[in-house]
Each structure stands twice: as C-alpha cells, then as structure tokens.
Amino acid sequence: MGEVFLPGSLREVFDLLSGEPEALLYAGGTDLFVRSSLEEGGGKPLVCLERVEGLKGISDHGDEIRIGGCTTHSELIRSRLVREHFPLLMHAARRIGAPAVRNMGTIGGNICTASPAGDTLPPLYIFDAFVELCSAGRARRVPISEFITGPGQTALERGEVLSAICLKKDHGCTFFHFEKVGQRKAMAISVASFAFAAGINGDGMIRKARCAFGSVAPTVFTSSNIDRCFIDKPMDEDTLRQAALLVRSEVSPISDVRASEGYRRSVAGNLVMRLEDLVRDTG
C-alpha cells in the first residue's frame, strides 16, 4: 500500500494530485480496497477524501438538492430532504450491503465505480441527475448517463474529483419502487435491479413513467419506448405485461457467475410485473 494522504480541503486535494499525478482517490474505500486492481495500483499514493470540507452533506438549493460526493449511504437514508423529494434513492441506498458498508460507502464512490450493479445508479438515471466535477482549474456538470461510459468506466478526468450530485426537485412523480434480485437477501450484488417512478392522475391513469434497470446491460438500462408504453394507461396486468415483454426484448444482459443472460432477461420482466402486486397491496 502506498503513502496515504488525508487532505482537509479540495485545494489540498488538487495540490496533492498535481504533485502526485498517479495518486488514487478514495472515500469509504469499500470498493477500492477490495478490488483486485489495487494490486495493479499497489504502491501508488492514496488520497483519502473523507475529511474534505464541502464533499459531505445534503443541501436544499431551491429547485434542486445537492448531495456531496462523499455522502455515505447511511446519511442518504437518514436525510429528510432525500426522503421527501427522492424516496427512490433512499429505498435503493437501504438495499446496499450491510450497515458497515452503508456507513463507509459513499454515493460518489458508487458512481465512480460505475458497476452495472451499483444500487444508487438506477434512481439517479430516473431523476436525470447531474454530477459536478471539480479540478484545480474548473468545475463542470455532466448528466449521469454521459458520465458513466461503460462498466467500470467514467468520464472523470485526471485531477478531477466528483464533488456533488445535483437533482432537480420537479420530477413530477409520486409513485416510487426499487427492487433488486440477488443470490441471497443481503450483502448480494444484484442479478437484476429495477427502479420505477411514476406520476399517476386522480383517475388512476399513468401520466409519466420512468424505468431504469441495473445488471442487465453494460450500464444502467433505460428506454423511452418502455417508459412510453405506460402512458395514459392504468397500472394493471395488461399494461405491465406489455411493458415486461418490451423489457425482455430490449435489455442486453450477459451471463456470468451469478446468473445466465436468459435468467436476467426473464427476471427484468418479472420485476416489472411485480408492480401490480404493489399497487394492489397499497390499495
């Protein structure tokens, strides 16, 4: 393991990164320290972001919420702002690992790891989140769907830090659901996950729908075709069956040690069908 630096400000982080261009950033370390690629990075200096002012906390900025990149999953779950405006993100954070992982792991780390199974990612796609990236010379905002470019790949440039996630409050959805299927109930990487948000009229007709799936494509899978097939329909068996058929035809999963391609395709459709039970249960 290389030398570990514990900067207290972003300015110090940028100074360290300019002096040590090979340095690796980490926040909770729950991905970096278990990844075998650390072997490749063995000996490289490590810059811990945990004590950096301004990377933590969730704040209200009028029409949007700003979540610091080093906000832990436990903090997301406890946040009144997240519960009020983005309950879907809270539901997803609750399904991550175990308490120790949620206490250490951060939303910024989850995004930068860019795993197709990252649990905070489907809700962030649904809400069209922007990530805020800062370096010594500039700050830029990038839509999450452009920031994540492939499995384990992002548009983060050398010298940049993911400083925050910005979410617009006016998403117009009132019905939220997150579900993941793993090989066991807890501490499992998802075989498939499904996030859903909808705006439903007083007469029960769906006015807006957004779906996002994890672990069934190289990055989070969304499709305007699938979203459209809910519009002006009730959330009944017919609507969900049509959506599930489309989902199974459009996703592009792989087979790996956890599940086959065919199983993932089938589960992705089943997760959509489960919405009917939920609607029935919630009356």
Ligand X SMILES: Cc1cc2nc3c(=O)[nH]c(=O)nc-3n(C[C@H](O)[C@H](O)[C@H](O)COP(=O)(O)OP(=O)(O)OC[C@H]3O[C@@H](n4cnc5c(N)ncnc54)[C@H](O)[C@@H]3O)c2cc1C
Q: DSSP per residue over 209-234, as a string? A: EEEEEESSSSS-B--HHHHHTTTTSB
CA dist list (Å): 252 to 116, 147, 166, 214, 266: 12, 20, 29, 11, 11
Instruction: Considering only residues 209 through 268, tell me which ones interact with ligand X, judged by CB under 6 A.
Output: none
Burial 231-264 (b: 16+ CB within 10 A, else e): eebbbeeebbeebbebbbebbebeeeebbeeeeb
Q: How many Cβ atoms sit within 10 Å of the Cβ of residue 33?
A: 12
Which of residues 165 and 240 has its CB atom nearest to ligand X in the complex?
165
- 17 contacts ligand X (rule: CB under 6 A): no
Judged by CB under 6 A, the stretch of 4-12, 30-38, 166-174, 202-210 that binds ligand X is 30-38
Shortest distance, position 58 Cβ to ligand X, whole Å? 15
Options 10, 14, 31, 269; binder of ligand X; rule CB under 6 A: 31
Options 10, 13, 23, 30; binder of ligand X; rule CB under 6 A: 30
Which of residues 32 and 275 has its CB atom nearest to ligand X in the complex?
32
Which of residues 191 and 251 has its CB atom nearest to ligand X in the complex?
191
Q: Is 2 exposed, middle or buried (0-12, 13-18, 19+ CB in 10 A)?
A: middle
Instruction: Considering only residues 59 through 118, tell me which ones interact with ligand X, judged by CB under 6 A.
Output: 69-70, 96-97, 101, 104-106, 108-110, 112-113, 118
Shortest distance, position 216 Cβ to ligand X, whole Å? 15
> From CA 211, how far away is CA 244, in angstroms rounded?
11
Which of residues 86 and 230 has its CB atom nearest to ligand X in the complex?
86
Query: Torsion angle, CA of 200/206/212/216, rounded to 10 degrees?
Result: 140
> Residues 158-177: x/- map of binding to ligand X (CB under 6 A)?
---xx---------------
Shortest distance, position 68 Cβ to ligand X, whole Å? 9
CA dist list (Å): 80 to 38, 75, 86, 114: 36, 10, 10, 26
Give residues in contact with ligand X (CB under 6 A).
24-32, 34, 49, 69-70, 96-97, 101, 104-106, 108-110, 112-113, 118-119, 156, 161-162, 187
